[in-house]
Structure 1
Amino acid sequence: MSASRFRNDIQGLRALAVGAVVLNHALPQAAPGGYVGVDVFFVISGFLISRIIAADIENERFSIVDFYRKRVRRIFPALLVVLLATLAAGYFMLTPAAYRELAMTAMAASFFVSNFAFYSLTGYFDGAAEFKPLLHLWSLAVEEQFYIFFPPFLMLFWRRISRAKSVMLLVAAGMASLLVAELLLLKAPSAAYYMLPPRAVELLIGVLIGIGGIPPLKSQALRDWTSVLGLAMMIASITVFSPTTPFPGVRSLLPCLGAGLLIHAGTGGAETWGGRLLSLTPLTYIGAISYSLYLWHWPILVYLRTALDADLPIAWAGAAILAALALASLTYHLVERPVLSRRADRFRFLWIGGAQIALVTALCGFVMIAQGIPGRYSPEARKLIAGSEDINPRRDTCHYGGEAPPPPYGRTCAFGSEDRAPDVAVWGDSHGAELAPYLGERAGSMRRSVRELTSSACPPAQGFASPEHTHCGEFNEMALTSLAADAQIRTVILVANGQIYKNREQLERGMQKSVEGLLAAGKSVIVVMQTPLMAFDVASKAALMTRYGLDANGLGESSSHAYAEARAYDRFVSGLGRQPGVAVYDPKPALCDKAVCHAYSRASGVLYFNPRHLSLAGVGVAFRLLADKLYAGAQHRPAPVVNSSRPAAMDSAPDLGPVLPPKG
């Protein structure tokens, strides 16, 4: 078995893979399924590495130490450059908490365990993925973890059992990996995404081809058409798949088998139609710099989004791609090629790799111990940063995460006067978690209290199914049954981040059932319209603007965009409000003027503790009018963000009077 022949078609396949990933990250609409490029890389890697290892084993020259020395030579130098550059940029761009997290993930990346690190950061309030500068390195960790287990396996079995039995073992491992992926997609989608076992099948597809486990194609015509089919399967995945496609699992077979078919069609020195197309000089060059391009593109996009907006304008996205290409080319010619020109067995790459890990660990350890070096920011900016912690102080105990059976009604939280049973309840997803304590503070001055019934990603809709929060249905059933039976509760406020849920029919049907159940129990119902969502981390951006002398007062989302995004859900809520006993409350008039739905105001500070959730200060602004109607005479501090120049649609406040409980 020869492992020496260079293949331009595989270099071009690398270009296709990295191009798909970069487009998907920079311009998602241009390549909605471009994330499958990572899976294509796994197939390529499995093929190339297994071919080299098998050939060395057959020629009795394979060495585990030499294998890892070559991996260090290939992986470490460019990675070190990007890690140091990303840490340097983060010093100027990130808040202390974000910088500390960056240091932690950089350290994890240097030990190739970043998939575990990012899996641990996938909680509902851990921050959006598009603001984590090293998120893309999870795939590098998966690949290197595979190469901890695979070489010893091949050494153990390749020469001791028949090739056919080795192939059967690898096929069985691939089928087990696929089964694990499908099971995890149902129970723990984040684990399916980040962990090696559900991804191993993708590497094993390449391995089976690399070790000659697939019979060769006997005719040129068959090889040509196989290569075209493989190319078509990958392009179909890139264009047809979307962020909502359940992935990986069975669906990953489409791009991975496509890559495998194209690679297999070109084995044995055969040129194919698909291979010739991928062997064009521009593609082979991009393939050559693909590793550095993959490393650079994501931090550039993250820092641009931090400075500008989560949804980059096309011009900025294009500029980011060009910058990544330029840096990748420089890194390839000035770092990768000079290092690769040295023979791995004559250069102490393992020692150098260890030194690089030690350097990154020391730098990151300092940043982590220093808590992200908050002294980089002025006291005023640090006060804005604290807005990210302006949340329900009892969120950990009062807001249900959905990972286990819900608590009984008697153990849910009440806010306000401790000696009075709640007469108002907030029932909803996480958008109600800050509303309950705010209303409770207002209620307390009137010797009243408010009950909180909130659950992450679980709108107050009977029968609503949440794939990541499997107890959502159980929680909502408990909430409706218990609220209906609680004679002290007179008013129930239903609140949800309605515009984000994809299953509109299930959401609307379920909320209608919840309203009907509450009305049948004699409750008054207030349904809250959509709160504007931001496309960036508000506290971080406000602090960054303040740090560099910019005015954060206009920070926010376009009013026209916010209203357009909310239109479908708001129309549904308005329909609910036409039923007797149901009122509607719209928080947008207090947050939006004609131009901007504000995320920050001079009077109240940071209004969102993360892109999707109002802070306690923001709730005080957005829901002041609702609290006034519920608790007339109660003292309150917050003032509206806007007092004039509202769009006509915002001018009239909702009439909540008829459905409110008696005062006192």
Structure 2
Amino acid sequence: MPAPSSPRTDIQGLRALAVAAVLGFHLWPTSVTGGYVGVDVFFVVSGFLITSHLLRRPIRSGRDLLGFWARRVRRLIPAASLVLLVTLGASALWLPTTTLVTVGREVLASALYVENWALARSETDYLATDELHSPVQHYWSLSIEEQFYVVWPLLFTAVAWVGLQARRRHGSERTTAALAVALTGTVVATSLGWSVWMTWAEPAAAYFVSTTRFWELALGGLLAALLALRATRPARVLVAAGVGQGTSAGPAAATGPAQQVGAEPGTVRSHPGLRAATAWAGLAMIVAAVLTFDAGTAFPGYTALLPTVGALLVILADADRLRGGPGGALRWRPVQWLGDTSYSVYLWHWPLVVIAPFALGRDLGAAGMLGVLVVTLLLSWLSQRYVEERLRFHPLLTRRLGATFAMLGLCVAVVAGAAVGVRDRASAAEQDAVADSRAAVAQAAPCLGAAVVRDPACADPGLVLPPTAAAQDRPVVYADDCWNDSPFTTRTTCTYGGDGPDGPAERIALVGNSHAGHWVPALEEGIVADDWQIDTYLQSVCYTVDAPIELPGAGVTGACRATNAWAVDSVVTGGYDLVVMSNRTHQPLAGVAEQDQGAAAEDAYRETLAAFTDAGVPVLVLRDTPAMPRNVPECLVQLAYDPDACGAPTEVALEPDPLAEAASADTTGLVSVTSVDHLMCDEICHPVIGGVTAYFDHGHLTATFARTLAPEVTSAVRAALGTEP
């Protein structure tokens, strides 16, 4: 392919649009609901440029390959490493200590460019969805690009070798380009197909994994390969409808959101009106995705074709300085500046969005968001000028490949070492806090937690279970992995108690989702004192009704329903003396209007309760506990341990509980309901009660606080069993 003759300002403008979309999405997510597609535009641009470069400068030796990687290293690694180090330091200074283990782990993953795979695992963790977003989460897309830059040149090395052999034997100029078309087309087809399936089957993981995203980079590569193939044909042959020939990047251009790009000479100038329309159509497709997509859009999958094909059309049209095209707007100097600095803007903006509220001690309002934007642009200009450009073209690095890779090793080692240090130090601090809290809890007992509210003679012991320890203070069912998680292919139960020589006095089935599991510590007293045996039938998120619940993933709704049927059947035929049941009814029922959700869920719960009572099994329903508006340990750390500031008005915290409503309406005499709301709420519901942080996230009780609810829970169980003294 010919060398570029002039910069492609339209591609720089495309980059500016992409990073502006991402900025808008992160700063004003309720307005720019689909701004996340800016990343997909970057992928197409990068794939086009990298493939153009590989076709114009084929890799024919090991040194060529190392030289290619060295240019990527100089372009991308220094700025990325600087941002990781600054973010790590700022996190240690301002973020809640409860988050530092996660931050250290994700900075390490980002330094090794596997952050996307780390997020694919954590985002499928039900409990992880309540955690603070990592300030380096945005490195997932950089990780995908870096992985692509490792794999892609290796594939094109083979393409170049085969093409060279064909040229020597047959004088063919077309073999390399034809092979490139076949390669890129195959990757697009297979990766896109896999993306569509994964987005349907495992949407949380599909968003991050490389295999569902490579097609977007390869799509840009396919355009570059088609243009290269066309360049080997007679000049009189035009591309379809006379649309422009496109561009390729210059030798100095590196992939990523901010490199300079060039235009390939000899672009077909036929049908300028059609070319202008093509460019405008491409921009319209991108803007449509930015404004209409939202968190509910199945993505990436086939929906990602709208912004990616839009980006492809803009590149194909080559509308620079074309009358009637968007070139004038894209050439505007501020737009070009944003395109030039887009890589640094992308790096800096997200850590500021996450950390700024903690540094300021308050949530960001409109003024705060504008401040984040200004600081982002300032830091981006400084790092682009004094880090990116200085090291990218530094004579020592450009003349010696070894120096470049030594810099790579140093960057990775320094960032990884710092990340491991922060992670391990934070982990040790957590363990120390847990040990200290256990001693403080033992010393304060029995006057702590709910006992302080229950007994006027109990004095508040002070904060004996602080947030750092509370974040780790989970019921034993978590350590014992007692859950049936999405996609609900397991049938897991756990048994506690009933191991005496004469067997259990009563067998109790604990049924529900995670808001049933957090009652286990409150049942421990009866396990010991009354020789109860507790068998768990616990599902994550999926609440116990024989109705379709809207859950993400292929077949998950049906699997949830089948797991509930298994749990109910197992209890009905299991010879249990009592069912203890609790659920958070959060996910909507499929096919039910929003205004009818509560009544439909209550009807579904009536059927579940009837399945137990028809078999003569009594049921105790524990009303769902209040939910806080945000993660309690993180809130307490951010707001200087001000419990009331992290609480919520009673009418907000006490969410509707259709299970409790259905139980209250039961007429069989076998169903009873117990609530502990009076111990947790007055005018507001409190996140810290009797010196104990009551939640380890936003709505699940800490094990320590749940134990202080044992008198109410065990009394209700005894009453339901008929064993109350």
| Bin of the TM-score, shorter chain as denominator length | 0.7 to 0.9
Q: Distance in 2 between matches of 1:321 and 1:624?
A: 53
Q: Hey, what does 1:513 align to over in structure 2?
A: 607
Match of 1:640 in 2: none
Q: Which of residues 542, 546, 549 is equivalent to 1:458?
A: 542
Q: Which residue is 1:630 aligned to?
A: 717
Task: Provide the secondary structure at the position in 2 that maps to 1:317.
Answer: helix
Structure 2 counterparts to residues 128-167 of structure 1, below 5 A = 128=130, 130-158=132-160, 159-160=163-164, 161-167=175-181
**CA contact 1:266–1:272 (8 Å) conserved in 2:** no
Match of 2:701 in 1: 614
Give secondary structure in 1 for the equivalent of 2:581: strand
Asked whether 1:293 is paired with 2:345, we answer yes
Q: Is the 8 A contact 2:514 2:538 kept in 1?
A: yes
Once the two structures are overlaid, the 10-residue window that deviates more, 55-64 or 383-392, is 55-64
Of the candidates 498, 516, 536, which is equivalent to residue 432 of structure 1?
516
User: Number of aligned pairs?
Assistant: 626
Q: Which residue of 341, 348, 360 corresponds with 2:415?
A: 360
AA at the equivalent of 2:398: D
Alpha carbons 2:283, 2:310 under 8 Å: kept: yes
Change over 3 Å in CA distance of 1:319–1:424 after alignment to 2: farther
Pair member with larger Rg: 2
1:424 and 1:491 in contact (8 A); partners too: yes
Quick check: 2:477–2:517 contact (8 Å CA) kept in 1?
Answer: no
Amino acid at match of 1:391: R
| 2: CA distance, partners of 1:313 / 1:207 | 41
Partner of residue 102, structure 2 = 101
Q: Which runs of 5+ in 2 are unaligned?
A: 165-174, 231-238, 244-269, 438-462
Higher relative contact order (CA 8 A, sep 6+): 2
Aligned residue for 1:63, secondary structure, equals helix
Equivalent positions of 1:214-363 (< 5 A) are 215=239, 217=243, 218-266=270-318, 270=322, 273-306=325-358, 312-342=364-394, 345-346=398-399, 348-363=403-418
Offset, 1:264: 1.3
The equivalent residue for 1:195 is 209
> Whole-Å Cα distance in 1 between the matches of residues 293 and 132 of structure 2?
19
The one-letter code of the counterpart of 2:518 is E
Residue equivalent to 2:12:
11
The separation in 2 between residues aligned to 1:259 and 1:586, in whole angstroms, is: 56
- Superposition pairs of residues 520-531 of structure 1, within 5 angstroms: 520-527=614-621, 530-531=624-625
In the superposition, relative to structure 1, how do residues 450 and 663 fare at CA in structure 2: closer, same or farther (>3 Å)? farther
Distance 1:199 1:436, change over 3 A: same
TM-aligned CA deviation for residue 210 of structure 1: 2.6
Paired residue for 1:39? Answer: 40
Instruction: Spell out the pairing of 1:61-210 with structure 2 (5 A cutoff).
Output: 63-94=64-95, 98-122=99-123, 123-126=125-128, 128=130, 130-158=132-160, 159-160=163-164, 161-210=175-224
Secondary structure of 1:613's counterpart equals coil
Partner of 2:681: 592
Moved more, 311-320 or 392-401: 311-320
Determine the structure 2 residue equivalent to 1:374: 429
With over 3 angstroms needed to count, the CA separation of the structure-2 counterparts of 1:561 and 1:74, relative to structure 1, is farther
Inter-partner Cα distance in structure 2 for 1:312 and 1:512: 44
- Separation of aligned partners in 2, 1:290 and 1:60: 32
Match among 473, 479, 485 for residue 390 of structure 1: 473
Structure 1 SS opposite 2:696: strand
Q: Hey, what's the Cα distance between the residues in 2 that align with 1:522 and 1:57?
A: 77
Deviations 1:595-650 (A, max 9, x none): x432223x142111123422123435678645543347xxxxxxxxxxxxxxxxxx
Name the SS for the 1:454 alignment partner.
Answer: strand
- For 1:639-654, list aligned pairs within 5 A: none
**Letter matched to residue 260 of structure 1:** L
Indicate the SS of the match to 1:29.
coil
Distance 1:257 1:605, change over 3 A: same
Report sequence identity in percent: 27
Does the 8 A contact of 2:279 with 2:319 survive in 1? Answer: no
1:304-352 deviations in Å (ceiling 9; x for gaps) = 3556899754443333333322322222233223334446633632222
**Matched residue, 2:450:** none
Residues 588 and 622 in structure 1, CA contact (< 8 A), matched pair in contact too: no
Structure 1 position 571, deviation (Å): 6.2
Aligned in 2, Cα 1:374/1:563: closer, same or farther, shift over 3 Å?
Answer: closer
SS in 2 for 1:614: coil
Deviates more, 1:273-282 or 1:134-143: 273-282
The SS at the match of 1:610 is coil
- For the 8 Å contact 1:415–1:441, the answer to whether it is kept is no
Is the CA contact 1:534–1:599 (under 8 Å) kept in the aligned structure 2?
A: yes
- CA separation of 1:182/1:306 partners in 2, compared to 1, >3 Å: closer, same or farther? farther
Structure 1 residue identity aligned to 2:328:
R
Where structure 1 has 5 or more consecutive residues not aligned to the other structure, the ranges are 633-658
Task: Name the CA distance, whole Å, in 2 between partners of 1:267 and 1:273.
Answer: 6
Q: In the alignment, residue 386 of structure 1 is paired with which amino acid?
A: A
Give the alignment's TM-score, normalised by structure 1. 0.84
Q: Give yes or no for the alignment of 1:499 onto 2:583.
A: no
Greater alpha carbon shift after TM alignment, 166-175 vs 499-508: 499-508
Three-state SS of the structure 1 residue aligned to 2:509 is strand
Distance 1:326 1:521, change over 3 A: farther
Q: Is the 8 A contact 2:275 2:319 kept in 1?
A: no
Could you say if the C-alpha distance between residues 314 and 504 of structure 1 is closer, same or farther in structure 2, counting changes exceeding 3 Å? Answer: farther
Aligned equivalents of 1:203, 1:526: Cα separation in 2: 56
